[in-house]
Amino acid sequence: HENWAENWKPEMAKKITNAAITNCDATFDAILASNDGTAGGAIQALLEEGLDGKIAVTGQDADLVACQCIAARTQAMSIYKPIKNLANRVAEIAVAMAHGTPIIVRKGVHNNQVEVHGLCGENGAGKSTTLKAISGMVKLAAGSIHYNGELIVGRTPNQMVQRGVAQVPEGRRIFKDLKVSENLRMGADIRKDKAGIESDLEMVFDLFPTLKERTSQLGGSLSGGEQQMLAIGRGLMAKPELLLLDEPS
Specify whether 24 is located in the same domain as 130.
no
Domain-located, residue 105: no
pLDDT band at 1 (very low <50, low <70, confident <90, very high): low
The pLDDT tens digits for 139-189 are 887 788 888 888 988 899 999 999 999 999 888 889 999 999 999 999 999
User: What CATH number is attached to the domain comprising 188?
Assistant: 3.40.50.300
Domain-located, residue 198: yes
pLDDT of residue 101: 72
Specify whether 241 is located in the same domain as 148.
yes
Q: Do the bridges between strand 56-58 and strand 30-32 make them parallel or antiparallel, or are there none, so unpaired?
A: parallel
Specify whether 239 is located in the same domain as 163.
yes
Please give the residue range of the domain that contains residue 140.
126-245
pLDDT of residue 203: 93
pLDDT of residue 114: 61
- What is the arithmetic mean of pLDDT over 101-118? 58
Q: Cα(first)–Cα(last) distance of the chain, in Å?
A: 25
User: What CATH number is attached to the domain comprising 20?
Assistant: 3.40.50.2300
> Which DSSP string corresponds to 196-223?
HHHHHHHHHHHH-HHHHHTTTSBGGGS-
pLDDT of residue 213: 93
Domain-located, residue 135: yes
Domain-located, residue 83: no
pLDDT of residue 136: 92
DSSP 107: E
